[in-house]
Structure formats: structure tokens, C-alpha cells
Amino acid sequence: MHLRLTHTGHIVHVAPTLKKMRADIDLIGKRFLEVFRLDRPRSVKSMGELTQRARSKLHLELRDEPFTALKGVLVQLPDGQGALVNLSFGISVVEGVQDYGLNSADFAATDLAIEMLYLVEAKSAAMDASRNLNHRLQGAKLAAEEQAATDTLTGLKNRRAADHILAAALAEDSEFSLMNLDLDFFKSVNDTQGHAAGDYVLQEVAKVMRAETRKGDMIARVGGDEFMFLIDGLTKKEKLLEIANRLIRGIEKPIAFEQTQCHISASIGIAMRSRGDSEGLDALMLCSDRALYASKSKGRACATFFEELDEET
């Protein structure tokens, strides 16, 4: 990109690319310093001072919008024929190309702008590839973490995840209820109908558990036929008993496997925690375990609250 100036600084020739950049303005006849603001060298105020700085690097900006920043150098022509100003976008080449819709045909074959555009494009592609790789790695990490916290057979949380969630709830002094559930007569299914039937029963039981609890409640398989629930924010006995009874009724429905019917039930123990309670995780789990054993002692297929054991004693 270039301009030709008279010795007085008037523009007498404009290169095609500059014309494209200011298609709505006729630059011919205008004074160079009226079209461009000279940022450096700062001391230059006139065309005479500018010609004295011939071959020095110039930092300019177009005075009207868009205020494109340019780099340039002025060279005096022989025999007082004026001067030639060669301009380039410098590091602003990407913005310049976007602002004015330029392409490779708008630059001289020797203009480094094309190489710079290739470098910018290559860098952009490399950054995109890096971001995509990071997203994939992050996704793989999250998937691995989820897999490490999931029981592969049922898709429920596993013991490791349950311990972590319970510890976090205690650390936050949350109000919640802990529910332990053991399947009754599950061993009989495994022994008489095989492990394939047992696995299928566990998967069907997990569906019942998801259906009968709230979305935010934790459900974990913590043993072969042992499950744990964290019912967040709920310590009302009536509501908890409703959930427990729905679980038992849903689990007691016959489960068809191949040509047979699998019959199981469930016993449940419940311990409630209020804000400010001092019991730790082990103590809370012991309370729900004791309530569970009480349910089994009563004949199974029922739910018992730990607080009721205290009342009985």
C-alpha cells in the first residue's frame, strides 16, 4: 500500500488497496497530515518536518472511522518530485483484513502481510486444536472420575462416592436423613436362579430406587445387596416413612427373569440429622445400621427409625 505526495504534502496518487479502504472518500488533493494522524515521531507537525525524517519508521492512524493503525516509511523522490509513503498494517493485519474485506490480491507479492496472515491462521488453528484437546482431556477426566464413583452394575453411586458425599454433607452441617436398605431374600435368588438373575434383579431394584426418590437424593450400592440413601433436607418422619414404604412396595413386586419370577423384599433403617448435631459419620452410620437390624428383627419388609429405638429403651 502506498501514496505519492507533492513536496507540499498533497496526495497525488493512491494505491488500489488504500482506495478500497476509503472507497467513499476521494483522497486525491487532500493533505497527507489531514488524512493521517502521525503518532510517532511525535515532534513532527508539518510536511517539511516529515520529509526531514525520511526513511524513519512512522506510526500513523487514519483520522476517520475505522481508525486503522498503520506503519509506514517516507522516501523522498529525486528532483523535488515529492515523496512516496509505503504503508502496512503491521500486527494489525488481521483487523485490517476483516474491517475492509481484503484478500491476498490486495497486497503486493513482496508484502509480509500474507506471511503474517498465514502465521496468525496457523496459530489460531493450533490454539483451536489445543482447546479441543483440553476439552477432550477434561471430558475424559470427568468420565473417569464419574466411573470411579459409580457402581458398574446398577449405575448408582458406589461406597467410595457415598462416603465422600456424606462427609461433605457433615462438613457443611447439612440437615438430612440417612437410610440403609438391605434386600431380603436376595441370596435365595442368587442360589436358586443363578447370578445372572441376581444381577438383573439388582438392576431392576435400582430403577425402583430412582423412581421412588427425588432427583437430588443420593443412592449408593455399598455392598452386594446393601444400599444407602442420603435424603437431603428432609427429617420429617411422615415423609421419610412414605419414601421407605414406596421403596419396599416397589421392590416387592415380582421381577420376571426368563421363565421365572424373582421375589424379594427390603428392610430399612433410618437415622435423621439436624443442623448443629455433633455426631460424626461413623456414629451416624452406626445409628442407621442399628435401625436396619431392628427392622430385620421385626420380620423384615419394614422401616425403623433410630430415634424409635431410643424411645423403646
List, in order, residues 6 or more apart from 280 with CB less than 8 Å away: 170
Q: How far is the C-alpha of 218 from the C-alpha of 179, rounded, in Å? A: 10
Residue keyed to cell 431374600:
185
Residue 274, all three cell numbers: 439436624
Residue 59, all three cell numbers: 506510526
Q: Which of 225, 277, 282, 310 is catalytic?
A: 225
Q: What distance, in Å, lies between the first and last C-alpha atoms of the chain?
A: 96
What's the burial of 182, exposed, middle or buried (CB within 10 Å: 0-12/13-18/19+)? buried
Q: How far is the C-alpha of 285 from the C-alpha of 279, rounded, in Å? A: 10
Whether the Cβ atoms of residue 113 and residue 93 lie closer than 8 Å to each other = yes
| Residue 225 annotated as catalytic | yes
List, in order, residues 6 or more apart from 288 with CB less than 8 Å away: 178, 179, 180, 228, 269, 270, 271, 306
Q: How far is the C-alpha of 31 from the C-alpha of 83, rounded, in Å? A: 13
Strand partners, 232: 176
Residue keyed to cell 421407605:
244
Q: Which residues are catalytic?
A: 225
